[in-house]
Amino acid sequence: MSTFKILNKDSLARRGVLSTLHGDINTPAFMPVGTAATVKGVFTDDVHKTGSEILLGNTYHLMLRPGSEVVKQLGGLHKFMNWNKPILTDSGGYQVFSLSDLRKITDKGVEFKSHIDGKKIFMSPEDSIQIQMNLNSDIVMVLDECTPFPATYEEAQKSMYLSMNWAKRCKNYFGNNPNSLFGIVQGSVYEDLRLDSVKQLTDIGFDGYAVGGLAVGEPQDDMFKILDYTCPALPEDKPHYLMGVGKPEDILGAVERGIDMFDCVLPTRSGRTGQAFTSLGPINVRNAKYKLSNQPIDINSNNPICKNYSLGYIHHLFNAKEMLGGMLLSLHNIYFYQEMMQEIRKSIEENNLKDFSKKFREQYNSRVE
């Protein structure tokens, strides 16, 4: 079971520490995504060096390959992937949501076809919890239905009620497990549904509360509006997690509204396609203007990639289709995110988040590619 301690507040933003069986997590925290028990293209030791304190693993992918029983027999997910710090596993709900043409959802659970071999698989809320218990993740997520955007009120209400029913079943099955279980708020863009979802989850009682069903196509303003009324309703003494978010400015805006935890594939996915995050805004290293550049990716960063490799070299690697290019850029991007989170935490400690946010946004939007 995790414990959460708030060390300081700056308006709605919180600086805290989440303690788990595999160590402490300083919040606000960003979790690199290790979908299939690996952060794509990055050695585990290198992920450690970025300051990452928790990774996200994926129930859906690991249940299909190699199978959660295999991971259990090999000592659990931490030992399997050589990561001795905390791990959060998502329940598989989002992946099933993305398989819209291959799945069927009922009150009992979800039936879907494997994207690997087309085999039919059924997963109930209890199955999702058991798989995550086999993986031995520190933070287990309830199975939910990720409501698509846009959705009518009736669709969102039906979906939310289904997720709340599944949340109860997950809690009952989880029992007295020593790890932690987080509930997930649903309700699309409808305030009364979101607040109803928060109340139902709070009544059930969880170790933390996630806001789900965002970053699925809605404008940033809508996302922030939903957080404006959802976050104050969440239990103050528990961690608040915004799932699948996001871009640096999304994270900053969500921290300002009371969110403590984030995950997103952007740092590594962007890294593999040539996009680098920098303090002056994102750049595409494949752009011809970087061919002769002796500059680092980010002139304001002292991370090992910026210290040791020029933009011109990384441009060459992408041009030559060398895998090292994507590896270096993915690692750089994780460093960027973790350095940003460190600065956010420091600014909350010093009650200076408003000034930091203003400077960060001005600088981040200063570059014209």
- Catalytic positions are 90, 263
Token pair recorded at residue 5: 């301690």
DSSP lists the bridge partners of residue 201 as: none
Going by the DSSP 8-state scheme, the letter that residue 33 receives in this structure is B
Do the strands 55-58 and 275-276 form a parallel or antiparallel pair, or are they unpaired? Answer: unpaired
| Bridge partners, residue 249, by sequence | none
Could you tell me how far CA 111 lies from the centroid of its own chain? 25
What tokens appear for 6 in the block? 């708030």
In the block, tokens 């002796």 appear at 294
Residue 256, CA atoms < 13 Å, CB-side half-sphere: 17
Give the pairing of strands 23-27 and 13-20.
antiparallel
Alpha carbons 302 and 249: distance in angstroms, whole number: 22
Q: Is the Cβ–Cβ distance between 35 and 271 less than 8 Å? A: no
φ, ψ of residue 149 in degrees (nearest 5): -120, 130
Please, which residues have CB within 8 angstroms of residue 49's CB and are 6 or more apart in sequence?
A: 304
- Cα angle: 175, vertex 181, 187; to 5 degrees: 120
How many Cα atoms occupy the beta-carbon half-sphere of 162 within 13 Å?
A: 20
Q: What are phi and psi of 103, to 5 degrees?
A: -135, 160
DSSP string, 74-108: TT-HHHHHT--S-EEEE-SHHHHHHTGGGEEE-SS
Cβ-contact 141, 210 below 8 angstroms: yes
